[in-house]
Structure 1
Amino acid sequence: MLLILAGIPGTGKSALARELSRRLGAAYLRVDKVEAALLNAGQQRVTVEGYAAAYALAADNLSLGLSVVADCVNPVPETREAWAGVARQAGARLVNVEVICSDAAEHRRRVEARHADAEAHAGRWSPPDWEAVRGWDYQPWHSEVWRVDTAREATETLASQVLLRLKTS
């Protein structure tokens, strides 16, 4: 299974993806980490490279029979179709989960805390600030996607809900 957790920064994707990876015993791929590694290794600019590396890592893990949880913004139809292609090639089930935070104040708090924490550490990659997140070009989904709202539920509760839905669908 290839489980994609998508959504704009600061919604709680990473916390939920890590929890699901632990419970499933799945490989965990975070595109932000791949992009940070590329930039910190001297890459001047990252566009499609981070996603391309993540697609390859997902394919390798799926070929070993492992489930993969991918944590990425996945903002446009092109990245969504690329993930679907990885799943098709591996003969794996694809599940898209869009993670949102419907509480704007909580979402902003998360983004600002993450941004401030990253500024305290060295490195060329840093998460976007609130203005960048508000202006993110995140396009609507035209394929099947489950939506999970992290505004009022604990990560553990949401992970249990996703796992139950995986079993029953």
Structure 2
Amino acid sequence: MSPLLIVVGGLPATGKTTIAAELARHTGFAFLRVDTIEQAIVRASPLAQPLGPVGYVVAQDVAADLLRTGVSVIAECVNPLAVTRDAWRAAGLGAGARVLEAEIVCSDLAEHRRRAETRDVGIPGLVPPTWQEILDREYEPWTRDRLVVDTARLPAGEAVAVIEAAARPCHR
């Protein structure tokens, strides 16, 4: 059976990391967090923020290596543009994997804002975007099918179960 790449995307503070990490614990899949990769690059080099596509390219290449060895991967990132979404899909399919794309949203703006203003990103040195930066961020609408999970309606555990259920047909 070929490995599975699950790409978990969405705006900051929607619950992506919480869901992706819990999904990794449930499935045993490798977990790649683009924020962690980008912050490591910043710590290790004189590159200044923003890094542009660097973190995504590194994560996609690492994911492809894992997938080629038969290891399924959960990749967590904002994934804001069609070009980034296409690159993830190409990395997975090019490595012989099946691909499931999940967009995490928070339809309750007050709750989304509360999360943005109170969260701990868990990465030393990483300054999370402000609420205004989240609102102003470039985020292209999706143009292909994906699984949409609304964390204003589902707690993290239920969101994980929804993604696991969607992955089952992919995991045959």
Q: TM-score with structure 2 length normalisation?
A: 0.90
Pair 1:59 & 2:60 matched: no
Alignment of 1:4-153 (within 5 A): 4-42=7-45, 43-45=47-49, 46-114=51-119, 117=120, 123=125, 125-153=126-154
- Structure 1 residues 133 and 65: CA distance shift in structure 2, 3 A: same
User: 1:66 and 1:103 mapped to 2: Cα distance?
Assistant: 35
CA apart distance, 1:48: 1.0
Moved over 3 A (4+): none
- SS of equivalent residue, structure 2 residue 20: helix
User: 1:132 and 1:40 mapped to 2: Cα distance?
Assistant: 23
CA apart distance, 1:34: 0.8
Q: TM-score with structure 1 length normalisation?
A: 0.91
User: 1:5 and 1:67 mapped to 2: Cα distance?
Assistant: 14
Q: Mind listing any 5+ residue stretches in structure 1 that lack a counterpart? A: none
Instruction: After superposition, give the CA deviation of every residue in 1:69-100 in whole Å (9 maximum; x if it has no partner).
Output: 00000011111111111111111111110000
Q: For residue 34 of structure 1, what is the amino acid of its counterpart?
A: I
User: 2:162 and 2:48 mapped to 1: Cα distance?
Assistant: 40
User: 1:165 and 1:126 mapped to 2: Cα distance?
Assistant: 33
Q: For residue 154 of structure 1, what is the amino acid of its counterpart?
A: P
CA apart distance, 1:152: 3.0
CA apart distance, 1:122: 6.0
Equivalent residues, number: 164
User: 1:152 and 1:144 mapped to 2: Cα distance?
Assistant: 20
User: 1:105 and 1:33 mapped to 2: Cα distance?
Assistant: 27
- Matched-pair identity in %: 41
User: For the aligned residues, what is the CA RMSD?
Assistant: 1.5
Instruction: Report the equivalent of 2:159.
Output: 158
User: 1:167 and 1:59 mapped to 2: Cα distance?
Assistant: 21
Q: For residue 16 of structure 2, what is the amino acid of its counterpart?
A: K
User: 1:168 and 1:60 mapped to 2: Cα distance?
Assistant: 23
Q: Mind listing any 5+ residue stretches in structure 2 that lack a counterpart? A: none
User: 2:166 and 2:33 mapped to 1: Cα distance?
Assistant: 23
CA apart distance, 1:24: 1.1
